[in-house]
Chains A and B, each alone.
Chain A
Amino acid sequence: MIYQESKTLLEVRGLCATVNGIEILKGINLTVKSGEVHAIMGTNGSGKSTFAKVLAGHTAYEITGGTVVFEGKNLLDLAPEERARAGIFLGFQYPIEIPGVANNQFLRLAYNTAQVQRNKDELDPLEFDDLVREKMKLLKMNPDFLDRSVNEDFSGGEKKRNEILQMALLDPRLAILDETDSGLDIDAVRIVANGINQLAKKDNATILITHYQRMLNYIVPDYVHVMESGRIVKTGGKELALDLESHGYDWVSVEQPATVGT
């Protein structure tokens, strides 16, 4: 939701990034204020996931230009774990499987790291177990997933729910959810969307990367951005997503060939 006088959480200016010398991000501008929900849409390969991973600090990408300020701090100076502790959360498009690392152990480590950051007490395994089961209930997740290795042999939808479970535990300031809706069945979209809505507050913000209106029926975006070849080429309100759904991306490119976003 857009609040008057809410403060800027994230300020991206002219962000350029390359991978193996190939330029992928070519000058992204984006401002996210607290309380807002932004949707980023765009064709396959336009750079959405790259943008998300660059914000989370993935080292495979080299930043070749621009600035990113998060709550007054220069985000690009921070290591991935420092960004996470500062309140950035990336829900991965393709969450990786980590054989041998028990999900509950991993979740507790992550949760306790966040607790330390917030100057709160760490939870022991028993206390944490109560908490995590509570959160899993909201997401209608089977507690059996706690004893399994992180994402190992989880179905596509189960991996996405596990991402949202992590988000619920970490309670981030800025959640970047990369195609969290893909792979979810109809009920799961609603459940996950409810979960995300419950976490949305006045002092945090969400960036949803998606291809479909489906998710946006539940989580109403304040802004919709269209990405194209490493840039945001159009920004509008929630109706833009509906227009895209009926007209496709060609319509954007034709109407507004090389505009820079916000």
Chain B
Amino acid sequence: MSVVTGNSYLKNLLHGQSQLATSPLEKLNRLRANAVDRVSALRMPNIHDEEWRFTDISPLTKMSFQPIRIASPLQVSDVEHFYLSEAVTRLVFVDGVYAPHLSTQLSDTSEDSSVVVSNLSAATSENLATIEPYLGHHTEFQDNVFAALNTTFLHEGALIIVPRNVSVEMPVHLLFIATQKEVASYPRCLLISGSGSAVTVLEDYVALQEEAYVTNTVAEIVLADNAIVNHIRIQRDSNQAFHIANCAVSLARESRYQSVSVALGARISRYNLNVLLADEGAECTADGLALISNRQLADTHTCIDHTKPHCTSRQLHKCIVDDAAHAVFNGKIMVRPDAQLTDSSQSNRNLLLTSKARVDTKPQLEIFADDVKCAHGATVGQLDNEEIFYLKSRGLSEVTARNLLTYAFGAEIIDRIPIASLKFQLEQTVLERTQRS
């Protein structure tokens, strides 16, 4: 039975887990123990599970991955090309291990000293009371084996605490660098933004080698009343890698969460984004771009949950699929009975560049309130012939017209990234990947 194989595989993944140092946060130790129980009870998902219907992760289960204890000895010169000029505060993790000599913590910069931007293991004991209510609270792992696995290894990652009414001017760069094959890393990010605060956080996954490794990450983002969080997420892992990510966001009254997530790398990637609009007047924007080729698979599952009146959500998710790659989008918008005057729109647009490229899209709208404005839709197709004709009628060649339109399709999302140098970098990436000669 598959349950048995699944379990032995999972048990193997837990190897070394028991050697994690006990945390000063008692809750964290309990969470880990719970998660170990859940991992023993669960199995790896397969395509017979509704949530994984289009994403066959069996290639992952054919390999074994272990966390490492000691990071590769990288120098600044090895990684500084990943640095962004706007993001002075930077936490760098190499194969999941915090690398202080590559990082610039907030205390080293001139920003407000009440703000915490630190690696989780170092900052936990000083911030026990602040962390306690939120850590592990927003990520459901009872039925999510990957979130459970991440929780069993919960000890390192990023901790960002922005006190009330503080605006962090510069973006915070969380840089996760993969350097070795067969490594599993389990980063955890916790962002607590106080009422009236504002911060921009970039979660950035990169690789130095084209190797097979697995990144299994969990991010928890909590917004108090009137807080503003810009969350940019760039997944540019190696094309051999597996990237599994869960992100849970919770919004209090009048708060605003704006996110752009871009998937460029990984052999198989899966991003679950759960946004809870927990109080009146909360607003969320969740845009995404998957730009994939060869045999890559990029799966994005989002759930935007309107629970209270007057909340707004906007979502534009785009996929550009080349060669025999495969994109999956499952976007659920939930409007609960209480959520009157919800204003929600969701659009999923997919561009298939070859006849072998594939996309499975499933926008889902579940409305239980009656006075709401909801629009959603999905398109799958090639470039628009009228647009091509318009450009050609101005003398542009077929190839130039197609290149321009394909680029524009992706650039629409990239343009929403509020960090200029990153935007420029990604525009170049989109350009390189979409241009034919």
Q: Interface residues, chain A, CB within 8 Å of chain B? A: 56-60, 79-81, 83-85, 89-90, 92, 95-96, 98-101, 105-106, 109-110, 113-114, 117, 149, 166, 170
B111 within 8 A of A: no
Judge whether A170 and B395 touch: CB under 8 Å: yes
Q: Which residues of chain B are within 8 angstroms of A56 by Cβ–Cβ distance?
A: 393
A100 and B392 contact, Cβ closer than 8 Å, known pairs A81-B398, A109-B400, A109-B404: no
Q: Which residues of chain A are within 8 angstroms of B401 by Cβ–Cβ distance?
A: 81
Closest 10 CB pairs of A and B: A100-B408, A84-B395, A110-B394, A113-B395, A80-B392, A100-B412, A101-B408, A81-B392, A96-B390, A85-B395
Q: For the complex, what is the distance from the CA of A95 to the CA of B391, rounded to whole Å?
A: 11
Known: A57-B393, A100-B411. 18 other contacts (CB 8 A): A56-B393, A58-B389, A59-B385, A60-B385, A79-B392, A80-B389, A80-B393, A81-B396, A84-B392, A84-B393, A89-B393, A96-B387, A99-B408, A100-B407, A100-B409, A101-B404, A113-B394, A166-B394
Interface residues on B, range: 20 to 34
Residue in A58, A96, A101, A110 whose CB lies within 8 Å of B395:
A110
Q: Which residues of chain B are within 8 angstroms of A99 by Cβ–Cβ distance?
A: 408, 412
Judge whether B390 and A95 touch: CB under 8 Å: yes
Dominant SS at the B interface?
Answer: helix
Q: For the complex, what is the distance from the CA of A241 to the CA of B387, rounded to whole Å?
A: 34
Q: Which residues of chain A are within 8 angstroms of B409 by Cβ–Cβ distance?
A: 100
Q: For the complex, what is the distance from the CA of A90 to the CA of B401, rounded to whole Å?
A: 17
Q: Which residues of chain A are within 8 angstroms of B396 by Cβ–Cβ distance?
A: 81, 109-110, 113
Max chain A CB contacts within 10 Å: which of B385, B390, B395?
B395
Residue in A58, A90, A100, A106 whose CB lies within 8 Å of B391:
A106
Q: Which residues of chain A are within 8 angstroms of B393 by Cβ–Cβ distance?
A: 56-57, 80-81, 83-84, 89-90
B397 within 8 A of A: yes
Q: Which residues of chain B are within 8 angstroms of A101 by Cβ–Cβ distance?
A: 404-405, 408
Q: Which residues of chain A are within 8 angstroms of B386 by Cβ–Cβ distance?
A: 96
Q: For the complex, what is the distance from the CA of A60 to the CA of B401, rounded to whole Å?
A: 17
- Tell me the nearest residue of chain B to A113, going by C-beta: B395
Max chain A CB contacts within 10 Å: which of B386, B390, B397, B407?
B390
- Tell me the nearest residue of chain A to B397, going by C-beta: A81
